[in-house]
Structure 1
Amino acid sequence: MFGDMMGMMGKLKETQKKVEETKARMDNVLLDENSSDNKLKVTITANRTLKSISIDDELLQDKEMLEDYLILTLNKAIERASTVNETEIAAVAKEGMPDIPGMDLFK
């Protein structure tokens, strides 16, 4: 019984380490998101850190339009980054979880 428990604890620690490594790796995963007409482009990491913004000169003439573009495009980028991040973390966590009857956490 204790051997099984020690094995599970070791597996959980290993999984925790892999999750932390995956989180760190997400800093290097860059995602580009563009407005529908490509007048605004943002680059964000899978950890949701904004890396760059590229704005078409036409948008600089209209403050309200630029603000709308920024909100829409940044929200799409954040949503996409969140999906990538959560998918990657869940995959690593599921892979390393011990098989405990009745504990189907990642279905």
Structure 2
Amino acid sequence: MFGDMMNMMGKLKETQQKVEDTKKRLDTVLIDESSNDKKLKITLTANRTIKTIEIDDELLEDKEQLEDYLILTLNKAIEKATKVNEAELAAVAKEGMPSIPGMDFFK
């Protein structure tokens, strides 16, 4: 029993390291999003760090319109990045979880 517990602890540490490695890798996964008319383009990482924002000069003439574009486009980009982030981290966590009857939370 003690050996099983040590083995499980080793697997948990290994899984923790894989999760940390995946988080670092997600810093290099870029998500691109743009407004429907392509006047605003945003790139962020799968860890939801904004990398670039490109704004068409036409949008600079109307502050309220620019704000609306930023809110809509940033929210779409963040939603996409969150889905990628959660899927990647869930896959790593599920891979490292021991098989315990009745504890299949990650199915």
Q: Distance in 1 between matches of 2:104 and 2:12?
A: 15
**Structure 2, gaps ≥5 residues long:** none
What TM-score do you get using the length of structure 1 for normalisation? 0.97
Q: CA deviation at 1:2?
A: 1.3
1:71-96 CA distance string (max 9 Å, x none)? 00000011111110000000000011
Within 5 Å, give how 1:10-89 maps onto structure 2.
Answer: 10-89=10-89
What TM-score do you get using the length of structure 2 for normalisation? 0.97
Q: How high is the sequence identity, in percent, across the aligned residues?
A: 78
Matching residue of 1:4? 4
Q: Distance in 2 between matches of 1:38 and 1:87?
A: 28
Q: What secondary structure sits across from 2:70 in the alignment?
A: helix
> What amino acid does structure 2 have at the position aligned with 1:2?
F
> What amino acid does structure 1 have at the position aligned with 2:71?
I
1:29-74 CA distance string (max 9 Å, x none)? 1110000111100000000000000011111111110000000000
Q: Distance in 2 between matches of 1:39 and 1:51?
A: 17
> Deviation above 4 Å: which 4+ runs of structure 1?
none
Q: CA deviation at 1:100?
A: 1.2
**Structure 1, gaps ≥5 residues long:** none
Q: Distance in 1 between matches of 2:46 and 2:18?
A: 16
> What amino acid does structure 2 have at the position aligned with 1:40?
L
